[in-house]
């Protein structure tokens, strides 16, 4: 074989080997790109699922918040009426400051104390009710995260 043919053959084999090496590297890169694309698609699906869960949770919280606001709006006039009655009883206008008014003053103080006790009891019930709602809302949050 002539020298020129041998050199040409060697160069061709060298080029073919180098091209094959580049093709293998390119295939590896394409495979890695495909795997990354699948992983990103899976993550996107997972994020869509979590977004749906969050939207449901926000909807539930909005409904509960609306209900609580409605209850507060319903209770506000009652609380205002209690305050007005307490104010009327706390500032009696019938007393003249004479000794004859002392029994009536004591009676009014007793009435105010009784009303104050009733209001305190009702407010503690409202507070207990709000605490129960808070605990129920907290209990719902982890349960909604597992759906």
pTM for the whole thing? 0.34
- Tens digit of pLDDT for each residue in 13-53? 888 888 888 888 989 999 999 999 999 999 999 999 999 99
- pLDDT tens readout for residues 80-122: 888 888 888 777 665 566 777 788 888 889 999 999 999 999 9
Task: Give the DSSP per-residue string, the chain.
Answer: --HHHHHHHHHHHHHHHHHHHHHHHHHHHHHHHHHHHHHHHHHHHHHHHHHHHHHHHHHHHHHHHHHHHHHHHHHHHHHHHHHHHHHHHHS-SS--S-GGGHHHHHHHHHHHHHHHHHHHHHHHHHHHHHHHHHHHHHHHHHHHHT-
Q: Give the residue extent of every domain in the chain.
A: 94-142
């Amino acid at each position: 074989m002539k020298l020129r043919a041998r050199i040409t053959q060697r160069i061709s084999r060298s080029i073919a080997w180098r091209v094959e090496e580049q093709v293998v590297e390119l295939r590896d890169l394409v495979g890695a790109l495909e795997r990354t694309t699948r992983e990103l698609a899976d993550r996107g699906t997972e994020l869509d699922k979590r977004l749906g869960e969050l939207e449901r949770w926000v909807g539930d919280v909005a409904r509960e918040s609306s209900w609580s606001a409605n209850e507060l709006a319903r209770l506000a006039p009652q609380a205002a009426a209690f305050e007005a009655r307490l104010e009327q009883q706390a500032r009696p206008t019938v007393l003249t400051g004479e000794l004859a008014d002392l029994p009536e003053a004591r009676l009014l103080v007793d009435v105010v104390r009784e009303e104050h006790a009733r209001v305190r009891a009702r407010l503690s019930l409202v507070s207990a009710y709000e605490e129960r709602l808070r605990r129920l809302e907290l209990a719902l949050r982890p349960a909604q995260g597992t759906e």
